[in-house]
């Protein structure tokens, strides 16, 4: 069985300043309708997750993320995916440039004039890191509920793994390529840096890495060494930013392939002969015959005549939509038991394969510190999403205090990390639906005040 994902990128909520807002709103509605038809009706399954490769917002503003959250909820419901199971990375439009301090400007100038060595020197300083991360304030609040928060030490992050078969998994690795963005960066004279602390990712037997990052490789000063590590540590690289959908598979080294999937823009500034509205449905499945990874692409693009999404063969460049990627990490792990009937065709063996299992995995939050796993309780994920994404800070604290989650003698700073631990404690203590009731109550109060 395949694991199915809806992949969107460069949605740019809040970009519309004129009558285009009506067309763009309709495009977003039609995408939801089309994704449901492809995933639920054609493939007859539910999506395992939604993948977002940056530029969710247009200028990193709070109201833009609010609109994006409502739309993502509707998309998730349409394709049968839990609303909280979204993997996202930030793009250059997701930071709020108005929050760039003079100190941050100075640091960006230093890195631009220097390179990876200067970048590492800056990022090693916690105060300097804070100045750069401050520009992601609204994005950080938005992504926290999805457990896709930015790593505080500018490292890669991961919290989702999909078991395609016993002993054969794909793991999603999220990287932030937008930390240094100013709006003036170009690919012909790269200024961005990924950094060794981020592109050196783990590899494990039986697990192949899928890397999500906004900018393609040609946008980085350290692109050469980044490419070396992506080739050797990842099986698929999914990017956004350039608004031009492309699919390319290269031999990374003997016995290993790398698929590079560049997304088009889900909602570019306008649809014309060069750019149009696009998204992807992607299937991942384990190949029990050759112990490889099969990726089947379903590119979708806007048909301006019929004003709806249709299949788009252009990104395939004449190739078949089904790609088989050689996977050395699969072959390092004990092979899953063979299906009973060895004489069956490859298609029959794939059909007999185990159903994919969505697994949340521990995420490193600080050096050597691993976040606790979320409670395995029905309904917890969507409630946690709403708690962090939709509530104001004061409303969250009010709930925690009302339900006696905060010790009376506590003087610990009430960070989001601590709030999450307290929310998890309430859930394990059987108070999850009291949390939900209070969330509804406080949000209704705010709405009645017109806030």
In a domain, 166, yes or no: yes
Residues 303 and 422 reside in one and the same domain: no
**What pLDDT does 362 receive?**
75
CATH code (residue 52):
3.60.21.10
Q: Are residues 348 and 379 in the same domain?
A: no
Q: Are 65 and 177 in the same domain?
A: yes
Instruction: State whether 11 and 131 are in the same domain.
Output: yes
**Do 390 and 335 fall within a single domain?**
no
- The answer to whether residue 370 is domain-embedded is no
327, 360, 393: which is the final residue of a domain?
360
Q: What range defines the domain where residue 172 resides? A: 3-360
Do 274 and 156 fall into the same domain? yes
pLDDT of residue 18: 86
Domain shared by 304 and 433, yes or no: no
In a domain, 368, yes or no: no
Region for 7 from its dihedrals, namely left if φ exceeds 0, alpha if ψ lies in -120 to 50, beta otherwise:
beta
* pLDDT in the model for residue 201: 95
Domain membership of residue 369 (yes or no) is no
In a domain, 420, yes or no: yes
What pTM was estimated for this model as a whole? 0.94
Question: 250 and 122, same structural domain?
Answer: yes
Residue 73's Cβ-side half-sphere holds a number of Cα atoms within 13 Å equal to 15
Residue 36 lies in a domain: yes
**Based on the domain organization, do 23 and 153 belong to the same domain?**
yes
Say how many domains are in the chain. 2
Task: Render each residue's pLDDT in the chain as its tens digit; 451 residues.
Answer: 799 999 999 999 999 888 999 999 999 999 999 999 999 999 999 999 999 999 999 999 999 999 999 999 999 999 999 999 999 999 999 999 999 999 999 999 999 888 889 999 999 999 999 999 999 999 999 999 999 999 989 999 999 999 999 999 999 999 999 999 998 888 888 999 999 999 999 999 999 999 999 999 999 999 999 999 999 999 999 999 999 999 999 999 999 999 999 999 999 987 776 679 999 999 999 999 999 999 999 999 999 999 999 999 999 999 999 999 999 999 999 998 766 655 566 665 555 556 788 888 877 655 556 566 788 899 999 999 999 999 999 999 999 999 999 988 777 888 999 999 999 999 999 999 999 999 999 999 999 987 6
Are 389 and 354 part of one and the same domain?
no
The answer as to whether 366 is a domain residue is no
**379 and 348 fall within a common domain:** no
**Last residue of some domain: 303, 325, 360?**
360
- 3-state SS record for the chain: CCEEEEEECCCCECCCCCCHHHHHHHHHHHHHHHHHHHHHHHCCCCCCEEEEECCCECCCCHHHHHHHHHHHHHHHHHCCCCCCCEEEECCHHHCCHHHCCHHHHHHHHHHHHCCHHHHHHHHCCHHHHHHHHHHHHHHHHHHHCCCCCCCCCCCCEEEEEEEEECCEEEEEEECCCCCCCCCCCCCCCCCECCCHHHHCCCCECCEEEEEECCCCHHHECCHHHHHHHHHHHEEEEEECCCCCCEEEEEEEECCEEEEEEECCCCCCCCCCCCCCCEEEEEEEEEECCCCEEEEEEEEEEEECCCCEEEECCHHHCCCCCEEEECCHHHHCCCCCCCCCCCCCCHHHHHHHCCCCEEEECCCEEECCEECCCCCCCCCHHHHHHHHHHCCCHHHHHHHHHHCCCCCCCCCCCCCHHHHHHHHHHHHHCCCHHHHHHHHHHHHHHHHHCCC
Say whether both 302 and 440 belong to one domain: no
Looking at 333, 360, 387, the residue that finishes a domain is 360
Q: Is residue 283 part of a domain?
A: yes
């Amino acid at each position: 069985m395949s694991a199915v994902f809806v992949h969107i990128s460069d949605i740019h909520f809040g970009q519309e300043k004129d009558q285009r807002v009506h067309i763009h709103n309709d495009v977003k509605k039609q995408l939801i309708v089309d994704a449901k038809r492809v995933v639920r009706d054609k493939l007859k399954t539910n999506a395992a997750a939604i993948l977002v490769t940056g530029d969710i917002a247009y200028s990193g503003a709070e109201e833009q993320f609010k609109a994006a959250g409502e739309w993502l909820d509707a998309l998730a419901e349409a394709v049968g995916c839990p609303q909280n199971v979204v993997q996202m990375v930030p793009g250059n439009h997701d930071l709020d440039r108005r929050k760039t301090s003079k100190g941050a400007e100075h640091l960006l100038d230093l890195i631009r004039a220097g390179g990876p060595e200067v970048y590492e020197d800056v990022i090693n300083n916690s105060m300097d890191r804070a100045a750069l991360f401050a520009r992601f304030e609204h994005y950080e609040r938005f992504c926290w509920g999805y457990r896709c928060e930015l790593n505080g030490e500018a490292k890669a992050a991961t919290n989702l793994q999909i078991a395609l078969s016993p002993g054969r998994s794909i793991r999603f690795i999220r990287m932030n390529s937008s930390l240094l963005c100013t709006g003036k960066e170009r690919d012909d004279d790269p200024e961005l840096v990924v950094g060794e602390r981020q592109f050196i990712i783990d590899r494990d037997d039986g697990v192949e890495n899928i890397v999500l990052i906004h900018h393609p490789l040609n946008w980085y000063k350290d692109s050469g060494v980044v490419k070396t590590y992506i080739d050797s540590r990842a099986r698929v690289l999914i990017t956004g930013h350039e608004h031009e959908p492309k699919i390319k598979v290269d031999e990374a080294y003997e016995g290993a392939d790398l698929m590079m999937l560049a997304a088009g823009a889900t909602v570019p500034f306008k649809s014309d002969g060069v750019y149009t509205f696009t998204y992807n449905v992607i299937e991942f499945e384990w190949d029990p015959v050759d112990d490889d990874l099969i990726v089947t692409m379903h590119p979708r693009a806007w048909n301006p005549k019929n004003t709806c999404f249709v299949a788009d063969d252009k990104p395939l460049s004449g190739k078949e939509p089904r790609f088989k990627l050689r996977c050395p990490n699969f072959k390092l792990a004990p092979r899953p038991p063979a299906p009973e009937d060895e004489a069956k065709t490859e298609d029959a063996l794939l059909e007999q394969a185990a159903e994919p299992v969505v697994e949340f995995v521990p995420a490193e939050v600080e050096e050597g510190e691993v976040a606790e796993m979320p409670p395995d309780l029905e309904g917890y994920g969507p409630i946690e999403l709403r708690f962090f994404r939709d509530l104001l800070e004061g409303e969250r604290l009010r709930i925690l205090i009302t339900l006696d989650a905060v010790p009376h003698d506590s003087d610990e700073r009430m960070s989001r990390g601590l709030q999450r631990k307290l929310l998890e404690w309430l859930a394990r203590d059987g108070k999850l639906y009291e949390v939900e009731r209070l969330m509804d109550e406080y949000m209704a109060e705010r709405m009645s005040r017109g806030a």
